[in-house]
Amino acid sequence: MRRANGTIQIFTFKEGIMSAVAHDLRLRLQTFQVTLDGSAVRGEFDLKSLLVEGPMQNGVLRAEQYDDGKRADVAKAMHGEVLHTPKHPTASFVGTATPNGDGYRVNGQLQLAGSSQALAFDVRNDHGTFRSEFELKPSRWGIAQYKAMLGAIKLKDALRVELALTEA
C-alpha cells in the first residue's frame, strides 16, 4: 500500500449583486490520508482541519488582507453554516485509478455532508508529484450556497480542488 503526502487546496468563488465587496478564497485541508493499493484509491479528509488561507485576487493569494479575526469569522461560517462539520466532520473517497498516459484516470464515490456522489478526475505525473485540478458542485452533495446580505453576496455552486501529492 502506498501513502501520499502533499497539499489539497480548495478555491471558492463569489457572485451576486454585491460580490465586489466579497472575496474569492483559498482554503487548505491540513489533515488527510490518501492511499493507493494496486488500483484501489482511498481518501479520508478531516473537514475540521480546513484552514482559511485568505482572499485571492487575480490568481494571487493576498493572505495579509485577512487578520485572525476575519479568518475566524469565515471559518465559523464555513464549518457551522455551510459544511456542518459538527455533524459531518469527515469526507471520504473510494475509487479506482486507471493508468492514463503519464498519469491516472480516477473514478469513484465521494462521501460528503452525508451524501455519496460519483466523482471522476485526471491526475498527471509532474516529475514525481501527482497533480489534479477539478471542479465540485456542492449542491450535488446537498450543500446549500452560502449567502450573506439577503443573497446580495453568495458563493457560486462551484469549487476548484487542487491536489499536489507525492509518495510518503
Tens digits of residue pLDDT in 50-69? 999 999 988 999 999 999 99
Cell of 163: 491536489
Q: Which amino acid is residue 48, in one-letter code?
A: K
pLDDT at 34 over 70: yes
The domain segmentation of the chain, as residue ranges, is: 2-167
Residue entry with cell 465586489: 20
Q: Please indicate, yes or no, whether the overall pTM of this predicted structure exceeds 0.85.
A: yes
Which of 156, 38, 141 is closest to 91 using CA atoms? 141
pLDDT at 31 over 70: yes
Q: Which amino acid is residue 1, in one-letter code?
A: M
pLDDT at 23 over 90: no
Longest dimension (CA), the chain: 49
Q: 2-167 domain in CATH 2.130.10.10?
A: no
Vertex 133 angle, CA 132 and 139, to 5°: 130
Give the separation between CA 75 and CA 81, rounded to whole angstroms.
Answer: 10
Which of 86, 93, 81 is closest to 155 using CA atoms? 81
Q: Residue 149's pLDDT is what?
A: 59
Q: Residue 156's pLDDT is what?
A: 86
Give the separation between CA 69 and CA 67, rounded to whole angstroms.
Answer: 5
